[in-house]
Structure 1
Amino acid sequence: KPFYLILTKGLILGNSAYELQQILRSKGYKVKGFHDIIMADTLFLLTARKNSLLERFYLLPNRIFNHHLKSIYRTIVKTLHSDKEIKLRKKLYGFVTELIARNFWKKVNKWKSMLYADDKCNLCGICVKVCPRSNIKIEGGKVNFGNDCEFCTACIHRCPQEAVQVGKMTERKARYKVGKEAEYFRRVLK
């Protein structure tokens, strides 16, 4: 079964493409091609003040997103008809990125318990709908965050009131708003 990998990343990808190829091979898939796209990092964005130079810098990769998708689409069509399978290799710096990621996720695990909806919350329920783990509930006129959070930050970035916070850390900080790139992606995948 042919498969084409498209992975998003921050600055570097680490060994996720290699590891994913190993998993796909074990399931009978052949990876015909691979492409990685730098995207705005929704975690780092939470450190930038609204309308700051840092916010614009973090969102810069998204400005070229549509261009990437168009070129990737053409490459996929050509590549999937080929008999060749690519072989991805482990990256030498992979252990460094793994170490950094492990330490970072220790911090993130602390942040999960700091999630709350502030007084701007109007109980619209968008946070409930966008949570991939069904971890958020509205009960008794209040938003409750459960213990099964993967810290995808969808609730933080998609809240139209910007009411979902991580302690004081995210107050008055930038939010990622889904825009044209998501609309384009939905059209291409139909």
Structure 2
Amino acid sequence: MTGELHAWIDESIHAQGPTPGFYLLAAAISDPTSAESIRESLRRLVPRPRRRLHWNSEDHRTRYEIVDVIASTSLTHVIVLAEVEARRQERARRKCLQRLLFELDQRGVTRAWIESRQAAQDRRDQEMVASLHGSGAISPGFTVTFAKPLDDPMLWIPDAVAGMTLAALRDDNHAWLDQLNGAYELIRL
């Protein structure tokens, strides 16, 4: 155990039509020395010939297996949620990301990986991180970088937690989140 904490971040969006939907960012927080065994447990769940897990692509059984792996770890999770209209997703992302990075910094996270999107979007996120550093909203030593889910299975975890959260919010299905035994905090903006 290093005493150091890292986080992996992914988004989920449910915003269609004229009514407000949800935009959320989820973070999985871990001691980095535990991450490799978690990655191996997740890789074993990937159905062939696929190369990764993605909550929306999984069947019911695989989702329960993913939840079992996540629940068996010492991971904690922070989820930041905003209501959003389909055309205002980037604004909702900025608000959620600002709050999430602040929360992670307050919990002692020193490094975070955000699932990479397109280069221009990653650049905008990085500019916001620089602004947060400059304003003192997050510590100067808090490093934020981008990663691809094919390169790091730890990014599959916040994807799953985001999916579990949307199931609870949209469908009143709390079965998956309940298995995390309270190892998460949901922050509504």
Point out the structure with the larger strand share. Answer: 2
State the TM-score, normalizing by the size of structure 1: 0.27
State the TM-score, normalizing by the size of structure 2: 0.27
| Structure with more contact order per residue of length (Cα contacts < 8 Å, sep ≥ 6) | 2
Greater radius of gyration (CA): 1
